[in-house]
Amino acid sequence: MKSKSSLLITAILLAIYALPTIQAANALNTKTSFCKSMLIDVKNLDASGLKIFNQYSKEHTLARKSGLMEDNLNQTRSLLELYENDRSIFLRALESKKCFTATEILNLEGSLANAEADAISVKSWLDVLTGIPGVKFYSSYLELPKYLAKPQAWNFCEKKGAKYKTLTCKTNQGKLRWVDVSYSPNEPSTPTWPTDFINGQVNLIEAKKRITKYFDENSIAAGTNGAASVEFMKRTSYPGLFNFDVEPKLTACKDFAILQDKAGAFKIKYVVNLDGIKPDPDWVISDGSKGELIVNQKFTGQIFSVPVRIEISQGDWSDPGTFAFRHIAIINGAVYRFSGC
């Protein structure tokens, strides 16, 4: 997990450790009015970041105690604010590149990319109305302007009384991180950033990947034969929604397979509009006339509304179809459908 301390070290020490010929005294230029103005702006943004950090700490504590979804969401909104504030700091600093050494600029750019990537990940958990419960991912806060204005050698101590460790810069999981010199890239970072799952749930980024993969597999099944298509529908149907062994689904699936085999020369492709995928946790089926066994009940897992069109082609002819909204569920990473044959 990358915190603001990474930038503090980045802006100061890489010039010392990575390029020994660059002296700390020749780092950040604080003499010109141009650079002083930048530093004042960074200081103000840094003060805002400290307030947000304190708020995030309180909301994290509350979320852990209550376990309520709304408290998790509040905590995650503050976490997003922290990364957006970091992003503003790095952008403002990079508007004044002549104030920094080349090494500092490279690391400011790397830190900006890290903050943007983290902000995207956090927002994707807010988008699915889940939040990030249980772990304080933004774990430390140190004032940036103080260390930009007074470059100095940096040592890290895990706790008071522990032996000081010299840090070095390495790339891990696609990000620039300051770590102990004895660090192995194979060691897991702590805490592990939740890019895919939290308690069996996925963020919006991962949800879109899984939904796209699901409909790609549906296209393959539809392009095989009627039996394969029906089997895919049965296998991926929401658990307990239909009974495929009785009417009306028994006949509906049989007729569907026959109809698709007759149209076997046609190529069928399901196309998803990724930008239109939205969580719809309160959606229910209100009418059971089509054989649904679960009516007027909130579903488990994560429910998404998905715009899908069916593209049909044969030779040079094609019909792109029109987008219609369908609902799918993701339960422990698996995608399920709410439509039968």
Amino acid occupying residue 223? G
What single letter denotes the amino acid at residue 234?
K
Answer whether residue 199 is part of any domain.
no
| Reported pTM | 0.74
pLDDT number for residue 338: 95
pLDDT of amino acid 16: 29
Indicate if 215 and 77 belong to the same structural domain: no
pLDDT, position 171: 52
Q: Burial-class residue 8 by CB neighbours within 10 Å (0-12, 13-18, 19+).
A: buried
Closest CA to 300 of 206, 232, 199: 199
Q: Same domain for 162 and 211? A: no
Each residue's pLDDT tens digit in the chain (341 positions)?
444 444 433 333 333 233 333 333 345 677 789 988 998 999 899 899 999 999 999 999 999 899 898 999 999 999 999 999 999 998 999 999 988 877 677 767 777 887 888 899 899 999 999 888 767 777 666 566 655 554 433 333 333 333 334 444 445 455 544 444 454 545 544 445 566 788 788 999 999 999 999 999 999 999 899 999 999 999 999 999 999 999 999 999 999 999 888 876 788 899 999 999 999 999 999 999 889 999 999 999 999 999 999 999 988 898 999 999 999 999 999 999 999 88
Q: Which residue has the tokens 């002296």?
A: 23
CA-based nearest residue to 277, from 221, 203, 331: 203
Secondary structure (DSSP) of 90-153: HHHHHTTGGGS-HHHHHHHHHHHHHHHHHHHHHHHHHHTT----S--SS-----HHHHHHS---
Structural tokens at position 340: 């039968």
> For 293, left (φ over 0), alpha (ψ -120 to 50), or beta?
alpha
- Residue-level pLDDT at 142: 59
Same domain? For 244 and 157 the reply is no
Residues 225 and 169 both lie in one domain: no
In contact, 267 and 314? CB cutoff 8 Å: yes
What six digits make up the tokens of 196? 């895919």
**pLDDT for the residue numbered 161:** 35
In this structure, are 187 and 168 located in the same domain?
Answer: yes
Residue type, 135: V
Same domain as 316, residue 186 = no
Same domain, 21 and 159: yes
Domain boundary among 142, 160, 193: 193
The tokens describing 41, both together, are 């702006």
Q: What is the pLDDT of residue 192?
A: 52
Residue that is last in its domain, among 149, 166, 193 = 193
Query: Which of 193, 228, 253 is the endpoint of a domain?
Result: 193
Residues 280 and 210 in one domain: yes
Same domain, 146 and 221: no
Report in angstroms the alpha-carbon separations of 275 from 56, 210, 227, 233, 287: 30, 14, 32, 25, 29
Q: Tally the domains of the chain.
A: 2
Is residue 36 in some structural domain? Answer: yes
**Both structure tokens of 14:** 């890489």
| Domain around 8 | 4-193
Judge if the upstream peptide bond of residue 239 is cis by omega within 30 degrees of 0.
no
Domain contains 85: yes
| In-domain check, residue 179 | yes
CATH number of residue 318's parent domain = 3.10.450
- For β-strands 201-202 and 197-198, DSSP reports them as antiparallel
Determine the 3-state secondary structure of 45 from DSSP: helix
Question: Are 24 and 86 part of one and the same domain?
Answer: yes
Please check whether residues 140 and 221 belong to one and the same domain.
no
Task: Identify the pLDDT of residue 148.
Answer: 56
169 shares a domain with 118: yes
Asked whether residue 41 is domain-assigned, the answer is yes
Looking at the domain assignment, is residue 198 inside a domain?
Answer: no
**Looking at the domain assignment, is residue 129 inside a domain?**
yes
